[in-house]
């Protein structure tokens, strides 16, 4: 399916669907000021509060994929909700939600997706449990989460100045940042086909590696397998080929965010990256968290970006708070039964280049973006030790191995290691979290 094509009438004229006035237009923003309560018990420490309502795709063992919204320990089954008439236009919305991707839903556009969200929030905040509560709710523990969108294109940026500096220092101690870094939100086109849902194991890749001090490479399994702590945004609106998306319109085009682990094989990367950049050291797997947190849920957590010096060129300039205060952590365990060690605590607010700048730069030459495209931030490192977003930085290129809670030490990832990333924003008692993205390293294939 080509998600860049606007084929159906409802995509061209989504407002028509709601001409019946079934949806009221009270602003989400105003409602967010109030304390929301639900008839459904929602654990106070849940990432999936009434203010979050992230979207995902799941099945419950029957293989029948459908869309859902996470709430506390449950999922609101959007296909069942559509069937019950919660959104009106039963057949239309059932068809939208009885799919294994959210692309068609996202393509409806924010005025409509926002109203679906509002309907679900209203349903959850009724004064007592609705009669259809049981038929619309699924226990989250019984659900198998799938990749939430069909990702047509994946782009990876390099937007953390701390990460770029840390990595640059390993190659050029006196001049870690290349001259273009403060002018361009550096990025490259990644590989969409190997992006996997959280929980999918990752097999150690083979590749060409140049052993230190040698002149010819060997073909071997990577010995420097790493994670990259990233946040990625999902494109929610097709842009037109030839027409840039300016920074001030970025919010129209960004549907929501996911946590992203961009697995990397540093030894393969080091040998191959000159002159065209990352290739097989990066494209064997990337993992995404299953729930897309919509941009409107993150609005209260917007914060100013770090000061940019020099001032960016005019097409990259922005107004107002462009970053998000979202706490990030990486947990590492060496096996199912061993204790996790938090190896990194970082935050998306450190990002030097904002999502609006990434998107404006990506499209300034006329390159178009499509619903479902994924754009990742690049590794998000903070300013001090313990906030770095990769083993490469945490172990200083392998020179200073980390000691884990179970007594073992790690420079890079070993077979059986499990990496779990978490993200959450919290303010004034309101919590909006991403859940987890996790993956286990499998041994290399026998060759």
150 assigned to active site:
no
- CA 116, CA 125: separation in Å to the nearest integer? 14
Q: Taking contact as CB under 5 A, which single stretch among the options 58-66, 212-220, 254-262, 330-338 is the one that binds Ca ion?
A: 254-262
Residue 295 in 3-state DSSP?
helix
Catalytic residue among 34, 59, 74, 163: 163
Q: Among 104, 262, 329, 438, which residue interacts with Ca ion (rule: CB under 5 A)?
A: 262
Residues in the interface with Ca ion (CB under 5 A) total: 3
Instruction: Let me know how long the chain is.
Output: 447
State the residue number with the nearest CB to Ca ion.
262
Q: Per CB under 5 A, does 226 bind Ca ion?
A: no
Structure tokens at 326: 């979202």
- Tell me whether residue 228 or residue 267 sits nearer to Ca ion (CB atom): 228
- Tell me whether residue 47 or residue 226 sits nearer to Ca ion (CB atom): 226
**Which residues is 410 bridged to in the sheet?**
402
Q: Taking contact as CB under 5 A, which single stretch among the options 1-9, 115-123, 261-269, 310-318 is the one that binds Ca ion?
A: 261-269
Residues from 156 through 195 that contact Ca ion (CB under 5 A)? 156
Q: Among 162, 228, 436, 438, which residue interacts with Ca ion (rule: CB under 5 A)?
A: 228
* Least Å from the CB of residue 188 to Ca ion: 9
- Tell me whether residue 100 or residue 344 sits nearer to Ca ion (CB atom): 344
Q: How far is CA 117 from CA 148, 196, 380, in A?
A: 16, 26, 29
Structure tokens at 424: 């959450």
410-445 burial string, b = 16+ CB within 10 Å, else e?
bbbbeeebbbbbbbbbeeeebbbbbbbbbbbbeeee
Q: Taking contact as CB under 5 A, which single stretch among the options 234-242, 262-270, 296-304, 313-321 is the one that binds Ca ion?
A: 262-270
Q: How far is CA 77 from CA 58, 81, 262, 269, 272, in A?
A: 9, 6, 30, 42, 45
- CA 281, CA 283: separation in Å to the nearest integer? 6
What separation, in Å, do the N-terminal and C-terminal C-alpha atoms of the chain show? Answer: 36
* Least Å from the CB of residue 198 to Ca ion: 17
Q: Taking contact as CB under 5 A, which single stretch among the options 3-11, 205-213, 257-265, 333-341 is the one that binds Ca ion?
A: 257-265
Structure tokens at 60: 């419950």
* Least Å from the CB of residue 228 to Ca ion: 4
* Least Å from the CB of residue 229 to Ca ion: 9
How does DSSP classify residue 299?
G
| Four-residue CA torsion sign, 153, 353, 302, 28 | negative
* Least Å from the CB of residue 325 to Ca ion: 22
Note the residues at the interface with Ca ion (CB under 5 A).
156, 228, 262
Residues annotated as catalytic (active site), given as ranges: 163
């Amino acid at each position: 399916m080509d998600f860049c094509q606007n084929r159906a009438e409802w995509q061209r004229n989504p407002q028509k669907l709601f001409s019946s006035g079934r949806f009221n237009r009270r602003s989400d923003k105003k409602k967010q000021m109030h304390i929301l309560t639900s008839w459904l018990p929602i654990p106070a420490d849940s990432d999936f509060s009434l203010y979050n309502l992230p979207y995902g795709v799941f099945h419950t063992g029957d293989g029948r994929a459908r869309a859902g919204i996470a709430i506390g320990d449950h999922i609101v089954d959007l296909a069942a909700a559509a069937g019950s008439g919660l959104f009106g236009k039963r057949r239309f919305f059932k068809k939208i939600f009885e799919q294994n991707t959210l692309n068609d839903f996202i393509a409806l556009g924010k005025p409509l997706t926002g109203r679906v969200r509002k309907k679900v929030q209203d349903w959850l905040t009724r004064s007592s449990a609705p009669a259809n509560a049981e038929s619309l709710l699924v226990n989250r523990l019984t659900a198998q989460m799938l990749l939430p969108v069909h990702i047509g294109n994946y782009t990876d940026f390099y937007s953390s100045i701390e990460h770029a500096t840390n990595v640059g220092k390993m190659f050029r101690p006196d001049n870690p940042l290349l001259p273009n870094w403060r002018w361009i939100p550096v990025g490259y086109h990644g590989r969409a086909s190997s992006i996997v849902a959280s929980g999918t194991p990752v097999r150690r890749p083979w590749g060409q590696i140049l052993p230190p001090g040698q002149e010819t490479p060997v073909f071997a399994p990577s010995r420097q397998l790493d994670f990259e702590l990233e946040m990625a945004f999902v494109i929610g609106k097709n842009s037109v080929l030839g027409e840039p998306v300016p920074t001030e319109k970025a919010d129209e085009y960004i549907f929501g965010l996911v946590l992203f682990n961009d697995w990397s094989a540093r030894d393969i990367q080091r040998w191959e990256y000159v002159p065209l950049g990352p290739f097989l050291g990066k494209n064997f797997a990337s993992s995404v968290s299953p729930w897309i947190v919509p941009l409107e849920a993150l609005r209260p957590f917007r914060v100013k970006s770090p000061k940019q010096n020099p001032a960016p060129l005019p097409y990259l300039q922005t107004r107002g708070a462009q970053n998000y205060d979202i706490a990030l952590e990486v947990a590492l365990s060496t096996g199912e039964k061993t204790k996790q060690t938090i190896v990194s605590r970082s935050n998306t607010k450190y990002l030097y280049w904002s999502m609006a700048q990434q998107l404006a730069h990506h499209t300034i030459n006329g390159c178009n973006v499509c619903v479902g495209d994924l754009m990742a931030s690049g590794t998000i490192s903070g300013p001090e030790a313990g906030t770095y977003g990769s083993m490469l930085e945490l172990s200083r290129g392998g020179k200073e191995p980390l000691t884990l809670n179970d007594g073992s030490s790690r420079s890079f990832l070993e077979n059986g290691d499990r990496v779990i990333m978490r993200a959450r924003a919290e303010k004034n008692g309101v919590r909006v979290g991403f859940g987890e993205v996790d993956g286990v390293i499998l041994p290399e294939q026998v060759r």
